[in-house]
Amino acid sequence: MGNADGRRVVITGMGMLTPLGIGVDANWEAIQAGRSGIGPIKGFEDIESFSSRIGGQVDDFNPQDFIDAREVKKMDLFMQYALAAAQLAVEDSGFSVDGDEAFRAGSIVGVGFCGIATIEHYHEVYMKQGPRRISPFFIPKVISNLAPGQIAIRYGLKGVNWTPTSACASGNNALGEAFHLIRDGRQDAVIAGGTEAATTPLGLGGFAAMKALSTRNDDPEGASRPFEKDRDGFVMSEGSGMLVLEERERAIRRGARIYAEMIGYATNGDAYHITSPAPEGEGAARCMALTLEDAGIVAGDVDYINAHGTSTPYNDANETAAIKAVFGDHARDLAVSSTKSMTGHLLGAAGAVEAIYSVLALHQGVLPPTINYETPDPDCDLDYVPNEPRQADIGVALSNSFGFGGTNACILLRKAT
């Protein structure tokens, strides 16, 4: 069913924590300045033993600014990030539910990993002290679905409550499924997004073992360089992005500020390889085309793409090929940028964080740049908004997320009308 046949879904609130800062304003200021949030990883005892020693961490995060101290100890960091971003989004939106409204309002939060830091800690406890020293809060601290669960408990949301876990597509899947539920009349409002806190010794070591990470350790701010010839891998990051999605008439009735409208979503799979994208981005191209179809628009209606753009050789070339396949001659007129050049790769939170940047591009009329773009790659020959933000009055933005296992998810956003 195309968007024209269903209810309209709008975004009324946004909250985020990323390596660029805490809150939407701090993030948008950094994006417009083309500033990188990547630096040497802090907090590892043996960081020098890792081949990749850089990442995007959320500095100055104090969970007790958002969560009661007694509750903090019951939550892994990924849950803390989710609750903090949700609080910022709810405050931004003025969103609340009363009475029976609670049954038609919910939370969907994408998570790539569960509480990996907590698992590492309690594995060590078990090995040294045995099973009796494992905390009764261990399981509630690590299971992914307690990210939306904690949000639902705090805000009294008794509708949908679940967690898509689809690697780096998780955040977009959360947003897209929330959009469809509201559009199709099953929910009226959903707090949706993604969260991740996997920059741990095991997480970093695992990706490093796959040769997936940049090893530009002497130049952290220049390490994430999507679509650029000398890219050598992605940079691990963490944080969270949350958006309040509402049925448009509900938002108007309560006098909410409307940032943008969500108009399309699709998800599919490559069925090709456990980590590599399908040749020429075949699966990604189908996903983008299905998203256009879901929205009831044509390729020429899209003005801007917030690309998955991980800074890995395979992803960037294949995503470029996929964009050309879907948009044809119009691909040359599109602005395409990767905000991962500044944030690094937030894994399961990436889609939600990038959706917020795309909403702001529509709302503010500024296209985020792809920084660190120095030497063009012949296989990546589109307009990547190199190095500097660009003023542009755009109407429709596409945001792409593609993950290991060949999972793809795309969303379409339109300027508020």
User: 114, 180, 308, 363: which is the annotated catalytic residue?
Assistant: 308
Amino acid present at 247: E
Positions in the chain short of pLDDT 50: 1-4
What is the DSSP secondary-structure string of 58-103?
-TT--GGGTS-HHHHTTS-HHHHHHHHHHHHHHHHHT----GGGGG
Q: Indicate the number of domains in the chain.
A: 1
d(CA 299, CA 305): 11
Catalytic annotation, pick one of 345, 363, 380, 410 = 345
221, with CB counted inside 10 A (0-12, 13-18, 19+), is middle
- Could you give the CA distance from residue 194 to residue 165 in angstroms, rounded to a whole number? 10
CA dihedral 178, 184, 189, 190 (to 10 degrees): -10
> Is 4 part of any domain?
no
Residue 257 lies in a domain: yes
Domain membership of residue 36 (yes or no) is yes
| pLDDT score recorded for residue 5 | 63
Q: Do the domain assignments include residue 318?
A: yes
Whether 308 is catalytic: yes
For residue 345, what are the domain limits? 9-415
The CATH number of the domain holding residue 32 is: 3.40.47.10
Indicate whether 21 belongs to any domain.
yes
Tokens of 382: 């589109």
pLDDT digits (tens, 9 = 90+) for 226-264: 999 999 999 999 999 999 999 999 999 999 999 999 999
The pLDDT of residue 1: 37
Q: At 166, which amino acid appears?
A: S
309 falls within a domain:
yes
Q: Are 44 and 50 contacting, i.e. CB atoms less than 8 angstroms apart?
A: yes
Per annotation, catalytic residue among 114, 168, 287, 410: 168
- Whether residue 1 lies inside any domain: the answer is no
- What is residue 6's predicted lDDT score, i.e. its pLDDT? 87
Whether residue 2 is contained in a domain is answered as no
> Beta-carbon neighbour count of residue 307 at 10 Å?
28
**Three-state secondary structure call for residue 403:** strand
